[in-house]
Structure 1
């Protein structure tokens, strides 16, 4: 972007400073309208359009904009968790991003995955993918509402994020990842809470989780209570060939 396009007039600088002071780095059209009450609707739209063209505002979705850093003229300061919540308000962030929030995932995720009771969707913003997977309404629990940069964001608890991994991703890598995180968070995980959330998922997921809890050395008694009289069986992965009578689950050495 050429420098002449990034220079702000005093008026535009005041507008952006006012937006950031009142609403932070993400703002809705209605909020801008309330700050610039002396502008006509046409003038307001033209001013927003101008700031978008100059790279100081970027459209996230209809009616929502991110504000560039006034120092670096970049959007690196925008939290992906906030962006995810703006894309689909009726959702909670889970999987890698939730584990990262809880300090259990060191790598910077290349996508943000959230759970929603509405239709599955995908978005892309600032070179980052946002995926929303559909779950039954009764599974929309197990998250906490946290404040990030002054905005409310719903983030899965550790227990719920691990269950979402097992439910939505069924490959060997995911099983190994969940086992690794169970071991890492052994002293943080609440077995009773985990069992309560697990009952919202299919029995296959409960069997897999129970087995992994035993391997990780975490109490599985609460979960086992609801499964010990259930018939049927499940597989940990498609390559599983050793049978666990306790969990009625085929597994492989790990």
Structure 2
């Protein structure tokens, strides 16, 4: 078929809900079992999609947390960390969200030793390892259900993190994010993992809020504010997790 004939035929199949378009010139075959959701699970096609676009990636945040055993995370959004600004999109009932990480950092942390694989009937998808998932969640906490959501992930999977690997990867992330993770690991009782991050707290020059989304009230006497000296963090509100 000529390119124009193929495009016309593909568009007819899209209208009949037998194909779906994930990106320009990238089509998904909708099998009968996928029709209720409008498209197959993104884990089945994210790898060829990113290869089609020539962009490296890793599945991370809440979807990665669920993969590693954080049962509290429904992972309604399929979150992918990439070194390029990409627009998020919805296909059928699936919502894909692309989270930007600076290329120089992405290149250093997106290594096979620090990644895992989601196996599917069609192949595999690259997913952040446990340590990278924890750091991504705390770095991009606003996309991971906030500090409470991250605390839940830390409680659920933090004990599985290798302390030495966690400390090595933490060197590529902002010091404040690492300190927040250390505090949440302490809170969850994962002592060996939190201890591996203690040297980062020693480099801190100022206190940072545990939750930057909470703005302190002007004139507050400080009654509801706690200073965590160990991690050099200001705690404006208690963290809530399910047990």
Rate the CA distance shift 1:175–1:56 in 2: closer, same or farther, 3 A. Answer: same
Please state if 1:79 is matched with 2:41. Answer: yes
Residue deviations 1:133-168 (CA, integer Å, cap 9, x gap): 211222342432443222331111222222222212
What's 1:56 paired with? 18
User: Counterparts of 1:206 and 1:215 in 2: how far apart (Å)?
Assistant: 14
Name 2:64's counterpart in structure 1: 98
Query: Alignment partner of 1:121: what SS?
Result: coil
Relative distance call for 1:101 and 1:180 in structure 2 (3 A) is: same
CA RMSD of aligned residues (A): 2.9
- Contact preservation (8 Å) 2:69, 2:156: no
Distance in 1, matches of 2:64 and 2:238, equals: 28
CA distance 1:105–1:76, shift in 2 (3 Å): farther
Question: In structure 2, the residue corresponding to 1:246 is in which secondary structure?
Answer: coil
Structure with the greater alpha carbon radius of gyration:
1
TM-score (norm 1): 0.72
Q: How far apart are 1:195 and its partner, in Å?
A: 1.9
Distance 1:232 1:63, change over 3 A: same
Aligned match of 1:147: 119
The change in CA–CA distance for 1:111 and 1:225 in structure 2 (over 3 A counts) is same
TM-score (norm 2): 0.75
> Which of the residues 87, 94, 98 maps onto 1:128?
94
Q: Distance in 2 between matches of 1:172 and 1:72?
A: 27
Structure 1 residue 245 corresponds to structure 2 residue 229: yes
Gaps of 5+ in 1: 1-38
Instruction: For 2:188 and 2:23, locate their aligned partners in 1 and report how far apart those are by CA, in whole Å.
Output: 42
Q: 1:159 aligns with which of 127, 131, 136?
A: 131
User: Distance between the aligned counterparts of 1:52 and 1:118, measured in 2?
Assistant: 28
Q: Tell me what 1:212 maps to.
A: 184
Summarize deviations over 1:24-61 as a string: whole Å, max 9, x none: xxxxxxxxxxxxxxx55565445434433433222222
* Per-residue CA distance 1:62-93 (angstroms, 9 max, x = gap): 22221122577555671222444426642211
Q: How do 1:229-244 and structure 2 match up within 5 A?
A: 229-237=203-211, 238=214, 241-244=225-228
Task: Answer yes or no: is the 8 Å Cα contact 1:84–1:130 preserved in 2.
Answer: no
The 3 A distance-change label for structure 1 pair 105 and 174 is farther
Instruction: Give the total of aligned pairs.
Output: 216
The separation in 1 between residues aligned to 2:78 and 2:115, in whole angstroms, is 16
Say which SS state the counterpart of residue 109 (structure 1) adopts: coil
Question: Structure 1 residues 200 and 65, CA, compared in 2 at 3 Å: closer, same or farther?
Answer: same
Moved more, 89-98 or 105-114: 105-114
CA contact (8 A) 1:66 1:75 kept: no
Q: How does 1:34-73 map to 2 (within 5 A)?
A: 39=1, 44-70=6-32
Output the CA distance in 1 between the equivalents of 2:208 and 2:18: 53
CA distance in 2, matches of 1:192, 1:80: 32
